[in-house]
Amino acid sequence: MFVNIFLSLLVLRSCYLVYSERYCSDCQIYYTCKAAVDYARFKPGDETNKLFEKAACGTETEDEDSDFMVCCSDFPSLNTSPQSTPPGRKLESKYAESNEENFDSISIEEQFPNMIPDKCGSILGNRIFGGRKAKLFEFPWMVLIAHETREGPQFQCGGTIITSKYILTAAHCVVDKKIASVRIGEFDINLEKDCDYEKHKTICKKEVQDMYVTEIIPHENYQRSPTANDIALLRVDGEIVFNYPNVEPICLPLSFELRSKHLDHEYGTVAGWGFTETGRESGVLLRVEVPVKTDAECKGYYNRNTREIINKQFCAGDFKKDSCNGDSGGPLMMKANYNGVNSYVQYGIVSKGPIQCGSSFPGIYTDVREYVDWILDNIKE
């Protein structure tokens, strides 16, 4: 995404411009400035190249291959933060009043004005398939939910940012629970400053947002056993700040094309801080790729052996590849075309799994496609 900008900055360097003479209080590596990343991703061209040239304030080191730094405040906001509907207003979705072909030709902004972000689920760089540890900034929509316990606040569930005020999670993570707070922008809960190491560079970030919850909205028809309608929203106190590269909403399957996507035998990515195969919670965010089972396969696992009735849910997992306790409420996501951009779209919410994690039994996920209207109906400004 930064190819043109790289060329522009290299031209400046070849002309012997000395970036270090430019001073600003927020001089930082270009890829740690969310506003700069937004311009490079969503507004490429000569205007953005010139903006980068003007904002250049030095390099991380004096090495020839060192990363360029920019004055982050030089980049005006592109207003990529999500918005919500006015108070009390229900969404009048064109999905209900248009035929499927016409609906899918309408952009996300036209379908859902002032409701859900049109820019979300960024895929920054290629990642290793089947890896265990996530990359810093890889899943910036991940949220930790802290419950009040006898030992004090404990992170026991996950969730995802879907707007600047709402978090999507599982109902069983909030019903009959006392929510202490939510944490946004975390990577390794054991470290004050999160760092990731790649060839020739070290990336670090320490900003997290701990926020109180003002409203808990579980699905009105949620039931614990057999599990049904295991979905909930949390409204945070205030507004999530999106001016950091470790904070961004995930995309939802809003369009007809995304809602009608066949998931059978597709691989989804699950991320969370849940228990690992050693039986301990992970301090660092983990990821795993899991195959989605067919309805028949899922019913074959569960209907014959448990009371579970698979409805508006799907199963995914493989031997030694599964979501686990502590991952509850987190996402199962897939890459898809969202508003013309290849992005992560959330298709599932970790709901329930086998007692023995990573066994041959797949985990159960709430199917987000079935609850898009419910989500939109319960979001307010």
Annotated catalytic residues are 172, 230, 328
Q: How far apart are CA 379 and CA 61, in angstroms?
A: 46
Given a contact cutoff of 8 angstroms between Cβ atoms, the answer to whether 294 and 344 are in contact is no
Residue of 81, 83, 82, 76 whose CA lies nearest to 33: 76
Q: How far is CA 135 from the centre of its chain?
A: 13
Q: How far apart are CA 87 and CA 171, in angstroms?
A: 23
Residues 6 or more apart whose Cβ sits within 8 Å of residue 272: 142, 158, 285, 286, 323, 324, 326, 327, 330, 350
Q: How far is CA 59 from the centre of its chain?
A: 30
Residues 6 or more apart whose Cβ sits within 8 Å of residue 299: 310
Cβ neighbour number for residue 201 with a 10 Å cutoff? 15
